Amino acid sequence: MIGLNPVLVVGAGPAGLSAACDLSQAGVRVLLVERREELGGAPARWKYHTLAPDFVPVSRVLGPLIEQVTKSELVEVKKGCVVESFRGSVGDFEVRITELKTRRSETRRVSCVVVATGFEHFDARVDPRY
């Protein structure tokens, strides 16, 4: 068992959602922090139709992950928030989380951190080589 404190997952795209789901299925409490107001990361934000490499429809991947995360009693979701700082060591980190709209901050203790902050979508239209 990881300890009494939850695991912090930063980012709620496919990787962060998968990590939160897997951890909660293993009985671990999760604090999921996403800077945007919606879950799903770049595929949701950019309205991807399918995901590589198998071209599975985004809804078939993200839909079940989002449903599981939002319904799990072991997962606390904080949307519109960022991690401002963290300090400590494995098993005992102190994390400051700030809500972007209100600038209110809170300090939480977590046992470990999963960083799944994703990527910025590459728009080939802005590069003359494409």
- CA of residue 25 relative to chain centroid, distance: 16
* pTM to 2 decimal places: 0.90
pLDDT tens across the length of the chain (130 residues): 456 899 999 999 999 999 999 999 999 999 999 999 999 999 999 898 998 888 999 999 999 999 999 999 999 999 999 999 999 998 999 999 999 999 999 999 999 999 999 987 777 788 888 7
Under CATH, to which class is 7-81+113-119 assigned?
A: alpha beta
| Residue keyed to tokens 């770049």 | 42
Domain segments of the chain as ranges? 7-81+113-119
Question: Residue 71 and residue 35: Cα distance in Å, rounded?
Answer: 20
